């Protein structure tokens, strides 16, 4: 069996934090490298960084969110404290026979059971050991074999504890390595999928460009088809520019699905006239006798689309007139239906329109003018739930008109929104 001094030294090393050089207090384990430190020591060492730091022992980088409380090590430290503070002192005290007291230079003939240490006769009379249980050193030596057995049991328990901890860490290492392999395989698969989509898009554009170049050599009467092809390319590029730079790899050419939008009659203001197919809307001379249901707008001449969208990427186009006052966009499903609803994003309405002979975005207080060089005949509405935004385009030229961020509204459905008054007339394109 190893000498008690050696055992004490080994236990001290295993139970000591390498930063404060004291027993571990509330130890944390760094998952990346397996080293342990006191919670307070590691917090003071790593500073105010909330994301990552370097290990004080191996200098390896680790993520702070991966720190785990090491309860098994905390239990081991408690055991080590007891072994060092009680059992080992008890054994060394018995072996202290024949030695002298460092303080009084008297022989160590007594043993204080309260302090678990040998003392001299002068120490016995001092206040430090007053009312303590003191026995002759020879009597205490009878208990040494039993104490040694207890120490051996505690040592064996500590060894078993560390063996279990080692097995646990080995299993955790295997699991983490397996998870890392799965993540790598998933990343590789996604990269291949994205590259396949990108390759297909590039091939499609190259074929389209080649076709347009061939058509440019044809008679002037067929140049209309060339214009359509150029418009298609413009849409590709426009959509690509709308993608956030951090998300350009997934995929570059975002697909918007065509939404079959129809007007919802139960939401229409009584003075609005809807066509039988619920695709057109115009301003009536007088109010119609319609049910006063909760869904209907009673003051503002608004009407919503029947279809609502809370996920995905959708677009629809609306033919607008050159006369009257009108607006096109999206609105929350929960937008107020009764009373004078304000035209503003704060009310849950994001739209562009025409009034006072000008085309503007409804974005108070400035209501910026739309970048147009002529009349607007057809508007394309792009609702991107994935990017939390709604964009408006000139459907004839592909020019971008305006973009609203609507991130705070997702979680509930957004419905197509329409507003007409006076001589205005709108029609949803098939």
Per-position DSSP letters for 145-184, written without gaps between them: HHHHHHHHHHHHHHHHHHHHHHHHHHHHHHHHHHHHHHHH
Q: Say yes or no: 95 and 111 in one domain.
A: no
Asked if residue 393 is part of any domain, the answer here is yes
DSSP bridge pairs for 281: 274, 426
User: When comparing pLDDT for 288 and 3, which is higher?
Assistant: 288
User: What pLDDT does residue 222 have?
Assistant: 58
Residue pair 349/361 in contact (Cβ under 8 Å)? The answer is: no
Q: Say yes or no: 231 and 288 in one domain.
A: no
Asked if residue 267 is part of any domain, the answer here is yes
What percentage of the chain reaches a pLDDT higher than 70? 79
- Token pair 């208990």 is found at 143
CATH number at residue 167: 3.30.40.10
**Tokens describing residue 417:** 């929104």
**Tokens describing residue 272:** 């609005």
Q: Say yes or no: 207 and 324 in one domain.
A: no
DSSP bridge pairs for 384: 313, 389
What percentage of the chain reaches a pLDDT higher than 90? 26
252: pLDDT strictly greater than 50: no
Categorize the per-residue pLDDT at 148 as very low, low, confident or very high, splitting at 50, 70 and 90. low
Q: Say yes or no: 45 and 128 in one domain.
A: no
Count of CB atoms situated within 10 Å of the CB of 179: 10
Last residue in a domain, options 197, 223, 247: 247
Distance of alpha carbon 351 from alpha carbon 417, whole angstroms: 8
- Token pair 């459907």 is found at 395
Asked if residue 281 is part of any domain, the answer here is yes
Distance of alpha carbon 374 from alpha carbon 396, whole angstroms: 12
CATH number at residue 278: 2.60.120.920
Tens of pLDDT, residue by residue over 149-207, are 667 778 888 888 888 988 988 999 998 999 898 888 888 887 887 787 677 767 767 77
Count of CB atoms situated within 10 Å of the CB of 38: 20
- Token pair 């304000």 is found at 342
Dmax (CA) for the chain in angstroms is 124
Last residue in a domain, options 247, 271, 290: 247
68: pLDDT strictly greater than 80: yes
Distance of alpha carbon 341 from alpha carbon 373, whole angstroms: 31
Categorize the per-residue pLDDT at 143 as very low, low, confident or very high, splitting at 50, 70 and 90. low
Distance of alpha carbon 360 from alpha carbon 271, whole angstroms: 24
430: pLDDT strictly greater than 90: no
Q: Which residues contact 120 (CB under 8 A, 6 or more apart)?
A: 100, 101, 104, 106, 107, 108, 109, 110
Distance of alpha carbon 196 from alpha carbon 191, whole angstroms: 8
Q: Say yes or no: 270 and 332 in one domain.
A: yes
Total number of domains constituting the chain: 4
Asked if residue 236 is part of any domain, the answer here is yes
Q: Say yes or no: 313 and 294 in one domain.
A: yes
263: pLDDT strictly greater than 60: yes
Give the up-direction half-sphere exposure of residue 144: CA atoms within 13 A in the CB hemisphere: 18
3-class state of residue 274 by DSSP: strand
Asked if residue 417 is part of any domain, the answer here is yes
Distance of alpha carbon 399 from alpha carbon 404, whole angstroms: 16
Q: Say yes or no: 48 and 114 in one domain.
A: no
Provide the total of helices (H) and of strands (E) in the chain, helices listed first.
8, 21
User: When comparing pLDDT for 68 and 23, which is higher?
Assistant: 68
Q: Say yes or no: 107 and 149 in one domain.
A: no
Categorize the per-residue pLDDT at 125 as very low, low, confident or very high, splitting at 50, 70 and 90. confident
Asked if residue 252 is part of any domain, the answer here is no
DSSP state of 369: B
Tens of pLDDT, residue by residue over 323-361, are 889 999 999 999 999 998 888 888 999 999 999 889 999
86: pLDDT strictly greater than 60: no
Q: Say yes or no: 316 and 358 in one domain.
A: yes
210-214, 355-359, 407-411, 421-425: range with lowest mean pLDDT: 407-411
* 338 alpha-carbon distance from chain centroid: 38
Residue pair 404/348 in contact (Cβ under 8 Å)? The answer is: no
Q: Which residues of 314-340 are buried (b: 16+ CB within 10 A; e: fewer)?
A: bbbbbebbeebbbbbbbbbeebbbeee
DSSP bridge pairs for 118: 111
Q: Say yes or no: 286 and 150 in one domain.
A: no
Distance of alpha carbon 391 from alpha carbon 395, whole angstroms: 12
Q: Say yes or no: 347 and 419 in one domain.
A: yes
User: What pLDDT does residue 250 have?
Assistant: 33
Q: What is the pTM of this model?
A: 0.44
Tens of pLDDT, residue by residue over 275-328, are 999 999 999 888 898 999 999 999 999 999 999 999 889 999 999 978 889 999
Q: Say yes or no: 365 and 419 in one domain.
A: yes
Query: At CA 143, angle to CA 141 and CA 146, rounded to 5?
Result: 135
Last residue in a domain, options 174, 197, 231: 174
Could you list the residue range(s) of the whole structural domain that residue 58 is in? 4-101+136-174
270: pLDDT strictly greater than 90: yes
Distance of alpha carbon 141 from alpha carbon 109, whole angstroms: 11
**Tokens describing residue 10:** 């080994």
Asked if residue 306 is part of any domain, the answer here is yes
8: pLDDT strictly greater than 60: no
Average pLDDT, the chain: 80
């Amino acid at each position: 069996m190893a000498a008690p001094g050696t055992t004490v030294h080994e236990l001290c090393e295993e139970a000591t934090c390498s930063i404060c050089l004291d027993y571990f207090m509330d130890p944390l384990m760094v998952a990346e490298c397996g080293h342990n430190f006191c919670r307070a020591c590691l917090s003071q060492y790593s500073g105010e960084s909330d994301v990552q730091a370097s290990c004080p022992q191996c200098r390896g980088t680790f993520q702070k969110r991966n720190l785990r409380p090491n309860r098994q090590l905390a239990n081991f430290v408690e055991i080590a404290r007891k072994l060092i503070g009680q059992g080992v002192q008890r054994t060394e005290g018995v072996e202290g026979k024949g030695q002298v007291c460092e303080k009084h230079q008297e022989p160590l003939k007594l043993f204080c059971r309260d302090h678990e240490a040998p003392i001299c006769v002068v120490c016995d009379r001092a206040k430090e050991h007053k009312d303590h249980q003191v026995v002759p050193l020879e009597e205490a030596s009878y208990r040494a074999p039993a104490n040694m057995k207890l120490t051996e049991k505690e040592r064996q328990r500590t060894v078993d504890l560390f063996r279990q901890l080692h097995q646990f860490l080995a299993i955790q290492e295997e699991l983490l390595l397996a998870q890392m392999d799965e993540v790598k395989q998933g990343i590789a698969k996604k990269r291949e999928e994205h590259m396949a989509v990108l390759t297909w898009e590039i091939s499609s554009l190259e074929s389209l460009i080649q076709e347009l170049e061939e058509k440019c050599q044809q008679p002037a009467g067929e140049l209309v088809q060339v214009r359509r092809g150029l418009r298609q390319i413009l849409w590709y590029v426009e959509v690509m520019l709308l993608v956030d730079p951090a998300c350009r790899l997934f995929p570059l050419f975002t697909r918007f699905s065509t939404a079959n939008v129809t007007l919802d009659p139960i939401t229409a203001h009584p003075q609005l006239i809807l066509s039988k197919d619920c695709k057109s809307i115009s301003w009536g001379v007088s109010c119609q006798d319609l049910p006063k249901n909760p869904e209907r707008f009673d003051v503002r001449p608004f009407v919503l689309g029947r279809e609502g969208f809370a996920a995905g990427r959708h677009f629809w186009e609306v033919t607008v007139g050159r006369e009257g006052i009108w607006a096109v966009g999206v609105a929350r499903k929960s937008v107020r239906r009764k009373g004078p609803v304000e035209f503003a994003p704060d009310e849950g309405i994001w739209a562009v329109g025409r009034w006072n002979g000008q085309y503007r975005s409804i974005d108070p207080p400035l209501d910026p003018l739309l970048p147009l060089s002529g009349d607007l005949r057809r508007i394309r509405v792009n609702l991107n739930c994935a990017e939390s935004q709604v964009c408006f385009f000139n459907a004839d030229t592909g020019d971008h008109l305006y973009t609203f961020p609507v991130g705070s509204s997702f979680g509930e459905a957004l419905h197509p929104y329409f507003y007409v008054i006076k001589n205005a007339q709108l029609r949803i394109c098939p």
